[in-house]
Amino acid sequence: MALGGYSFVFDVDDEHGAKVFHDGTRHRGKRVKRLTVAIICIFLTWLMLFLDGTISLSGLWNEVTLRWQLNRLTGSVAQPAATTGSPGHIHDALPVAAFTDRGPHCMPQRPPAYAAMAGEAGHNQYFGHIPTALEWSTLSLKNSCDMLNVLMPDWVVLREGTRKIEIDIEDTSVRGTVEDYMARAVQHPQLLPTITLEFASAPESFVQQILHSDQSGDLSQNLSAISTGLEASGLCLDFRQLDAQALKQLTPFLNRFSAKFRADDLRSCLVLSVDQKIWSDRALMASFNHVILKAFREPWAGSTPAPLADPAWLEAVTRDALASIDPDRLTIALGNFAVEWQLRDPLPTLLPYGEAVSRIAEAGGQLRFSAETGNSFSSFRDDQNRSHKLWLMDAVSVHNQLQTLKGLGVRNIGIWSLGKEDPGLWNVLAEQYQDPASLMAQLSPMSLPNYISYEGKGAFLEVTSEAEPGLRFVSFDTQTGFVRDVEYQKLPKPYRLKRYGQPAAHKLVLTFDDGPHADYTRAILDTLKETQTPAAFFVVGARVLEEPDLLKRMIEEGHEVGSHTFSHPRMDQVSQSRTALEHGMMSKLIAGYSGHETKLYREPFLRAGGPIEASRVRSLMDVQARGGIISGMDIVPKDWEGLTTQEIVDYVVGEVKRGAGNVILLHDGGEDRSASVAAVPLLIATLRTEGYEFTTLADLLGTTHSALMPETGGSWLLFDRLSFEFLSVSWSGLEWVFWAVLIIGVVRMLSILVLAIIRQRTPPLKAGYHPKVTVVIPAHNEENVIVKCVRSVLANDYANFDVLIVDDGSTDGTFDRLFATFCNTPRVRLLAQFNRGKWAALNTAIAAVKSEVIVCIDADTEVRPDAIRHLVQQFNNPRVGAVAGKIAVGNRKGLLTRLQALEYVTSQNFDRRAYDLLNGMLVVPGALGAWRVDAIRKAGLYSRDTMTEDADLTIAVTRAGYRVTYEERAVAYTEAPGSIRQLLTQRLRWSLGMLQCAWKHKGAIKERRVIGLLAIPDLVIFGYLFPLLAPIADIFVVILLYNVLAGVWSGEVGVAVTSMPTHLLWAYLLLPMLDLATTAYALKTDRDESLGMLLLFPFQRFFYRQLLYFSVYRSLLRALTGSLAEWGRMKRFGTNGILVEAT
């Protein structure tokens, strides 16, 4: 029935065939569900059996619950990451960033950075002395809460030479911890390394050698150069062995030193004790930037027990110093250590605070505080009835001393020395930045996180007693602020460890960590077999999975095998469940592949000689509880730092001759270990020539090989071995997937880029072809956008066209608005039909048109005025059956729509440029596409077989022998989904529809057309297989990246990272880098877009793309189950605002 220019179509004939993949019976979906449930059940059963005996599910649940509860109470606190990854070691020093034991309560406030070495009013400036002779001294840096403004490590030594002074500098292994701390500190501290002395002759003779060495300023010049090389602010002279008279003789050198440093814009510093009276020389002191006066008594041989720094003495000394030294130059160094006097021993012993309270606690002595002296003291008798008397300067002492110095106007405070202090000291230093009342609560608990007591000798370790916390109650005088009393309820006790297993001096054991490695371990085993030398291999589980045959060979050839954990983590930084998993998996792995258990264990990143901080002991206790034997090591050449073969040999031989120990550690895994491999035969030959004998760890322990590695059996060994084989194959599969994703992605991107560049140079067609064109607009409930769409079409500059609108059973005001607006517009016709779908609406239009060409656009689209003209020009070529226009997002008002705009430029329009060259275009978009009517009819019209009828028809037209081209000058603006939910609905339909098209037209592969040979396979591989594999590759890379970053977080990067993961990470970066380059080129060659859109690239890569992947997974699931989505509708808001509505 017709009404004016409008017709109502009552034909309800429809195709009733099912869509591709549709399963009306739903039987396929039920089968898929049952299969999925069965796979999950099988997997969970296997997992429970495989993890049986390694981890407690109830314990894991309790751990997770406890962590969640703690986070609720205290907020989520970021923890240092556990170092996991390719093994390596730092055996002689522990990085600052690794310390995890509970330290002081660090306040958010902090004194201003130490600028220009001048104290700022109201804030103390803290100098921290770091004695490198104490290997645990740097552990105090983390506890310092960034309170230290100046670090003074003992790095430079003036050593007595044959004629002139020799200068020694600590190597990077010693300096590295302090340098790392400085680099990571929130407020960068200044560096003033100390210069100490080492001589054997009389002091007078040594002084003369210094003066002789500096006659022409050479020594001062060399020291200035050293300061610059260390990137220090200057150097501190600490001539503690010289008395006042000797120092006075050094005045010429001291003047030249300070003058040279002043000329070189460096800081000069002089450290003096109270007895070195040279500090009363006003002129000399004025030549130095800093004079550090150690304001505590230093007991001498024959001295009697006495307080180390009582208030009256401190005040008198400070006043005298201020009379000679400018307050800005003067730093008062406060002691924080203990001195022990023992009966019949004339030489008092200076003890770290931790050792002092440990001795008192073990002897059952009492520690008391003397309010008069401000020091604590104790006396006790040992088991031989010898009297011991101790005086201590602790955190309480420092508090009172700070109060005294504050009254005297002293703001530069030295801490002498780190590693010897009461851990509560740092709470005291932060006192001025917190409520003083809280200090009492913070000082009450006592612990020794950076002190461990050792006894015995040997490479094996046993924890003999656990650490115990202490408790003290501190009372303050509210008027003066001084501590008036301290009651020690209980003294803290440190962990006690026993070293054992020291053999006769001529016996040595070769041990290897971090393997097995396919090349290095095999070569070492060959050498050991040829030389008949036993050895011990501490293997990493992840490496055993790669080379299980080498594990078997080790045992078959009589070598000892120990556990080095499964994944090489920092064991003190992992949870209890992870700890249990690491040990349990290693037990199963070694037993499964070798038929032997092992009791030997060596902890990753274990320091030579054993741990020096309490937090590292708990993990050793877990091993002991499991019956393990902890094997340390004595001689550790740093083969992970790139030493040459000869350097390794020289170091080991030298240490052996020096009597450093009996257990030698080399590495057969990790990075390049070729130097270590080459050193093995040289070491064996050299040391045997020197009379040394290579033996086993069992020999050192006085036991047998079978006792350390007993045979085991049982039916579960096969199950465990097969399970590990499955894990190994899975990991190898991950790596294969990684490379597949990388190669697929790179090859496709390069191909698209090259094709797009070639196509860009193709000359445009000549104008002059003007066939009759009908613009077809299917519409269903589009009342908000339809009028703007039609007006944009009518505004086109092409003369020979009309408009046909098919209202597909709209239930809103679409028809009424069209009728009211265009009833008097001759060019516009309107057809109305019952709702049958977009495909049917388009076929209705095709049946009604008499034009040679139709241009189909969606109702939410607005076209540019020249769009039809540019599209039609392509049909001058009779081979062209369809032309795709360029689609751009018109409603760019949020992140999501802008990301879609970027996608349209790159993944859609740019791809069309490439496939236009090959005639392999898969989609002429419904938003703007032109069709030759004869081609449509020859291809069989629009089909209801798929949800993307545009793509279906595009492929059919191409298969019918026509060419499908792309015209980027014909531009249309569409309204993109504005919410994630709408986007996912739209992309589910698109993704499922394209999959239907690929399946429907799979026969095209046999037709030798690009559409079948290249385009459809590309759709399947890159559109569906790639999204399936990409997250797996991402997981693989995340694991590798975690291995790298965990090493960075723990301070052990460089030894914890192998070259292989690094290369894989760089390879993985190739894909996003190439993607970025392609995106940049696409934007640059698109005259309508700006390169500023590149700022959206990270969001597209790490947010938007994952949404598209999710849509792909949904579509695959729908296809698999046969449960298809209907033609989802997005509510249109008319926000497509690129073109101005015609009036």
**Active-site residues: which are they?**
513, 667
Question: What is the CB neighbour count within 10 angstroms for residue 1035?
Answer: 13
Question: Which of 203, 226, 214, 292 lies closest to 255, judged by CA?
Answer: 214
How far is Cα 152 from Cα 1140, in angstroms, rounded to an integer?
71
Question: Which of 32, 37, 29, 31 lies closest to 1123, judged by CA?
Answer: 29
Query: Would you call the peptide bond into 492 cis, given omega within 30 degrees of 0 as the criterion?
Result: no
Rounded to 5 degrees, φ, ψ at 1124 are: -95, 150
| DSSP assignments along 574-611, one per residue | S-HHHHHHHHHHHHHHHHHHHSB---EE--TTPPTT--
How far is Cα 163 from Cα 729, in angstroms, rounded to an integer?
67
Query: What is the SS3 assignment for 235?
Result: strand
Using CA atoms, how far residue 1103 sits from 699, 748, 891, 905, 1099, in Å, is: 59, 22, 20, 18, 5
- Residues in the chain, total: 1143
How far is Cα 816 from Cα 783, in angstroms, rounded to an integer?
9
How far is Cα 275 from Cα 261, in angstroms, rounded to an integer?
26
Residues 6+ apart with CB under 8 A from 578: 82, 569
Q: Which amino acid is residue 652, in one-letter code? A: V
Could you give the angle at which helices 1105-1121 and 27-51 cross, rounded to 10 degrees? 120
Asked if 195 and 238 touch (Cβ cutoff 8 Å), the reply is yes
Using CA atoms, how far residue 912 sits from 162, 853, 904, 920, in Å, is: 82, 21, 10, 9
- Helix (H) / strand (E) element for 483: namely strand 483-490
Q: Which amino acid is residue 944, in one-letter code? A: R
How far is Cα 501 from Cα 456, in angstroms, rounded to an integer?
9
How far is Cα 934 from Cα 407, in angstroms, rounded to an integer?
102
Reported in sequence order, the residue ranges of 662-819 that DSSP labels E, i.e. its strands, are 663-667, 693-694, 773-779, 801-808
The two structure tokens encoding residue 351: 């003890």
Handedness of CA 110, 115, 117, 118 (dihedral sign): negative
Using CA atoms, how far residue 327 sits from 58, 150, 399, 1054, in Å, is: 63, 17, 20, 45
| DSSP assignments along 826-838, one per residue | TTEEEEEE----H
The two structure tokens encoding residue 116: 């220009």
The structure tokens 């802008």 sit at 898
Quick one: 106 exposed, middle or buried, by C-beta within 10 A (0-12, 13-18, 19+)?
Answer: middle
CA 931 and chain centroid, separation: 54
Residues 6+ apart with CB under 8 A from 261: 220, 223, 224, 227, 234, 235, 267, 268, 289
Alpha helical stretches, state H, 121-250: 140-143, 172-184, 203-213, 218-229, 244-249
The structure tokens 């002492």 sit at 397
The two structure tokens encoding residue 746: 């790179």
Using CA atoms, how far residue 95 sits from 182, 607, 612, in Å, is: 12, 11, 12
